[in-house]
Structure 1
Amino acid sequence: MVNFRKYISGITVLAAGFLLAQTTVSSVLYSHNTDNSRVLSLPSPVEIVEKAVLSPKDLVDISVNTMMTDPVLKNATWGFVVYDPKSKKIISSYNESTPLVPASTTKLLTTETALSLLGENYRWMTQLEYSGNIDENGVLNGNIYIVGSGDPSLGTNKAGAASYKDIVADFVSGIKNEGIKKVNGDIIIQTALFKGNISRLPENVVWLENNNYYLPAGTTKEINPANEKLIVKKSMTPGSDKKFFYVSPYADQMVYAEKYEGNGTLTTKLPDAPAFLANSFKANLLKSGVAVTGKVTPKISDSSPEIRKKVSVYQSPTLADIVYYTNQRSDNSLAEALLKVVGFYKMGDQTSESGRIVVNNHLKDIAFDVEGLNYIDGSGLSRSNKVTPIAQVKYLSSLMNTKIYKTYFDSLPIGGQSGTLKRMFLTNGNGQVFAKTGTLNKVKTLAGYLKTNTGKTLVFSLMVNNYSGSVDQVKSRMEKIIGPALDL
């Protein structure tokens, strides 16, 4: 906590110094030994005394105390810690043990768990195979298989991933290179991962906040495409009637519907990536003159698998690339997919619940302070997520000695330069703040690392819940709190 006694005594010294400085300045400005008074451009006496008497830590403490009465933060619940990972000591803090809504700084936990368990070079494979035989006329009497592995970036163009168009073109080329001119069989989608990719929305998710649409997708099969309405402008605000926002598999972009015809259970079901790939593949085979007599069909398990030949393999970007994209852009759908991936890796199924268990167990294994922790989803959309500032900084400090630290650190936005921090710390702190941001309605958070002017690497967490005013006003206060720490 901030040392109030030291703060008050510092102010007393400051006041005394102020009077002394005023006397000195007066004697310089006017001298009885000269005929004319001289006006000099001098620094503020307060600034001179502050630098002379107050240490960088004192200035950090003063900044924190000043914010306690600031109109924007006065009635907010907020916490702050700046921590020295070498001495393992708190330099300055406020409400450091208070559980707060972390918003997208939750992704710090999700992405680190994925990197630690899977490794930064992990890739997902999507294979094209076929069974049966090809006769002298180029007719394949067998099936074509698309074998997926739950690639969260498949067809998205995210993190350097190929588009559906490019993958399909490669697959069609592979079929033609095999001499296949007709397929007497089905195109079978075979993947044990992400069976429909269905899970309930994280608890208490808001539909629309600060003109950003946070819902990765709504259920698709039970919203009639005739009810879909394109989002015309980003300044849309929710009306009194709830609107259902989701990624349309028909329009291939974010849309909304005022009418929902499902059973009332909304999900984060994404348009099925392997199915979309398979259908696009079939359509392009037909366009290129390769007839397919069968249909596209899923086959989750196969007790008697056919002998198959591999034609082509598409590799996803590395996990390091995907984590970089996720943290730089605060991508919610990738974060939720990573949660399911670690669940499958450790527990053999792709549910969010398994993912949560795996992440929580991993955090316990690395001695994360779980006091006050409530990890609900992978992205930070849920307001039921809770973590303490002190737990965040100790966690981030512990990662500095791990083999994934450089990849993890490099994935974080840089103040004034990249990602979601590009428009913060444009002057003071530019290139010195490396942190994950978080934003929900009346929630603004920031956690990461500081490179100080003295060459130190410090760790910090700053979480503000239920503030007054605008997001920009809170960002400004955050910069004022963190700014003095750059001189530590």
Structure 2
Amino acid sequence: MVNFRRYISSVAVLASGFFLAQSTVSTVLYSPAYDNQKSSLNLPSPIATMVEKTILSPKELVDINVNTMMTDPVLKNATWGFVVYDPKTKKVVSSYNENTPLVPASTTKLLTTETAMNLLSENYRWNTQLEYSGSIDENGVLNGNLYIVGSGDPSLGTNKAGAWSYKDIVSDFIGGLSREGIKKVNGDIIIQTALFKGNIAKLPENVVWLENNNYYLPAGSTREINPANEKLIIKKGTNFSTDKKFFYVSPYNNQMVYADKYEGDGVLTTKLPDAPAFLANSFRTTLVKSGIAVTGKVTPKMTDANPESRKLVSAYKSPTLGDIIFYTNQHSDNGLAEALLKTVGFQRLGDQTTESGRKVVTEHLKSEGFDMIGLNYMDGSGLSRSNNVTPIAQAKFLTSLMDEKYYKTYLNSLPVGGQSGTLKRMFNGLGNGQVFAKTGTLNKVKTLAGYMKTNTGKTLVFSLMVNNYAGSVDMVKKRMEKILEPALDL
């Protein structure tokens, strides 16, 4: 707990000398009327602020703001923790409950994206290839199969991070067939995606389904999910169809998807297949429309004990991992984060499942000296309320990254206060362009962790996590800004 006795009296004396009625002591001393201020902060007057800055150091102002928030009506019954850490001295500048495990929400993505960048390198790319087997006769007829070979590209067809659309990829594939002289396919289009076998799995426990009026399915399939148990029910007054009550947001397509049926067996079928299948079916449809007949069908083949000899026709490369991580952190993209988790699991353990991904991430964190006390890493995106981490662990983790060769790319992936991503509407005054941090938002959870460039040229690291607050998200955001703004003068 912060000790204020040594400087409160001097503040009170000087403040009363300036303007008795506007004493800045109200910033420190608690007033019962403060409890009734539910809509806005009790911000000090410009004169009071000037008095504070004249007498108190930036550190003391940070400490006072933290102390004030302990009695703030929005935060006084919340569980929250805060730390500002100096990466040069390796010392805590200011803190409150810094060792308390808290729900981090989407600041979990800090761990997921860094692990992927560390293990795979920022220039890593996923390949999606078109190949064919058999032979091409003098009439341009392929007597064999076409193969679409996927590698788990999480951005496939999404236009995210500069990824191509399905239409663009299909056009490129058709151009490849034209170069090979193929005018008809006497065979099937086979989807070779053994990597995706791990997508049929249970989602992490306690995943938040309803946030900001959207339902999230971060990754995987709907197998073994009971919509009734998960309360996937459309509320009255929405514009959605009343006869199709179960739906989710596809991780591959940014649109609502209705369920075709729900039979009560825990399986929810939808109109949109997984990304490789969607690509393959779009490819077949376009081929037929272009006059290239395909006699066979689109069919998946997870494993192939006796693979056919095949020739490469075309290869689509995804955006770099650095680009995808930039998009993930800027937009707090849950689907991409979960895909990155599965990718590191496959690359290290040969199994693209959430469980393997969790194991790889936690082992990586241990090897990097992460403070594992209080850590519970359940998913890659932060949607699970079972995730836990301490503010000091986050701060020390972010500090350790400053010596990594990919630090600049990692730092640039974070939203910038007042300027970009999920921080564009915060720090529009003080802190604009100086706060680089990942945000996190769940119902009654608001978090922020990252770096700040101070007015004196320092780089400081911070973590601020609030659980179970009262009031609105905007009210919490204002209080977070008030706690952090004096640190800009450190």
Residue 393 of structure 1: how far off its partner (Å): 0.1
| SS of residue paired to 2:437 | strand
Instruction: Give the AA of the match of 1:211.
Output: N
Q: Distance in 2 between matches of 1:13 and 1:204?
A: 50
SS in 1 for 2:262: coil
Residue aligned with 2:9, SS: helix
- 2:9 matched to which residue of 1? 12
SS in 2 for 1:434: strand
Match of 1:156 in 2: 158
1:129 maps to: 131
8 Å contact 1:218–1:269 — kept in the other structure? no
CA gap of 1:258–1:304, structure 2 versus 1, over 3 A, is closer
Aligned pairs for 1:14-93 within 5 A:
14-21=11-18, 46-93=48-95
| Aligned partner letter, 1:3 | V
Aligned to 1:321: 323
Q: Determine which of 257, 262, 265 is the counterpart of 1:263.
A: 265
Shift of 1:262: 4.7
Query: CA shift at 1:266, angstroms?
Result: 6.9
* Superposition pairs of residues 43-442 of structure 1, within 5 angstroms: 46-195=48-197, 197-216=199-218, 219=221, 244-247=246-249, 253-256=255-258, 260-264=262-266, 271-442=273-444
1:233: how far off? 11
Contact 1:211 1:237 in 2 (8 A): no
Matched, 1:3 2:2: yes
Q: 2:461 aligns with which of 445, 459, 474?
A: 459
Q: Give 1:277 deviation, angstroms.
A: 0.8
Residue 173 (structure 1) shift: 1.6
Q: 1:200, 1:267 within 8 Å by CA — same for their partners in 2? A: no
Shift of 1:302: 2.0
- C-alpha change, 1:263 and 1:274, in structure 2 (3 Å) is same
Aligned partner of 1:14: which letter? Answer: V
Larger mean CA deviation between 166-175 and 212-221 belongs to 212-221
Q: Which amino acid aligns with 1:299?
A: K
C-alpha distance in 2, partners of 1:292/1:45?
78
In 1: Cα distance, 2:430 partner to 2:237 partner: 31
CA apart distance, 1:290 = 1.1
- For 1:17, give the aligned amino acid: L
Deviation of 1:172 (Å): 1.1
For 2:94 and 2:144, locate their aligned partners in 1 and report how far apart those are by CA, in whole Å: 68
Separation of aligned partners in 1, 2:471 and 2:325: 32
C-alpha change, 1:336 and 1:237, in structure 2 (3 Å) is: farther
User: How high is the TM-score relative to the length of structure 2?
Assistant: 0.87
Q: CA deviation at 1:51?
A: 2.3
Question: Is the alpha carbon distance of 1:196 and 1:292 closer, same or farther for their aligned partners in structure 2, counting shifts above 3 Å?
Answer: farther
Distance 1:252 1:141, change over 3 A: farther
Q: Is the 8 A contact 1:215 1:245 kept in 2?
A: no
Q: Residues 278 and 258 from structure 1, CA distance in 2 versus in 1: closer, same or farther, beyond 3 angstroms?
A: closer
Preserved CA contact (<8 Å) 1:199 1:269 = no
* 1:162 maps to amino acid: W
TM-score between the two structures when normalised by the length of structure 1? 0.88
Q: CA deviation at 1:190?
A: 1.0
Does the Cα contact within 8 Å between 1:189 and 1:278 map onto a contact in 2?
yes
Distance 1:478 1:377 in 2: 26
Q: How far apart are the structure 1 equivalents of 2:271 and 2:398?
A: 32
Deviation at 1:237, TM superposition (A): 11
Report if aligned partners of 2:85, 2:462 keep a CA contact under 8 Å in 1: yes
Indicate if the aligned counterparts of 2:161 and 2:327 stay in contact, CA closer than 8 A.
yes
**Counterpart-to-counterpart distance in 1, 2:349 and 2:85:** 35
**Greater alpha carbon shift after TM alignment, 94-103 vs 124-133:** 124-133
Which whole-Å CA distance do the structure 2 matches of 1:180 and 1:237 have between them? 47
Change (3 A) 1:473 1:48: closer
Q: CA deviation at 1:298?
A: 1.4
Structure 2 distance, partners of 1:389, 1:181, is 61
**C-alpha displacement of 1:18:** 2.7
The answer (yes or no) to whether the contact 2:129–2:316 under 8 Å persists in 1 is: yes
Shift of 1:220: 6.1
CA positional deviation for 1:252: 7.4
Checking the alignment, whether the CA contact within 8 Å between 1:128 and 1:312 is kept in structure 2 is yes
Deviations 1:71-129 (A, max 9, x none): 00010000000000000000000000000000000000000000000000000001111
Structure 2 match to 1:486: 488
**1:191 positional shift:** 2.1
Q: Distance in 2 between matches of 1:383 and 1:50?
A: 39
Task: Write the deviation string for residues 22-62 of structure 1: whole angstroms up to 9, x where unpaired.
Answer: 69xxxxxxxxxxxxxxxxxxx96644442232111000000
Counterpart residue identity of residue 324, structure 2: I
Deviations 1:213-269 (A, max 9, x none): 33347856999xxxxxxx99999599xxx9643146999721455973252267999
Structure exhibiting the larger radius of gyration computed from Cα positions: 1
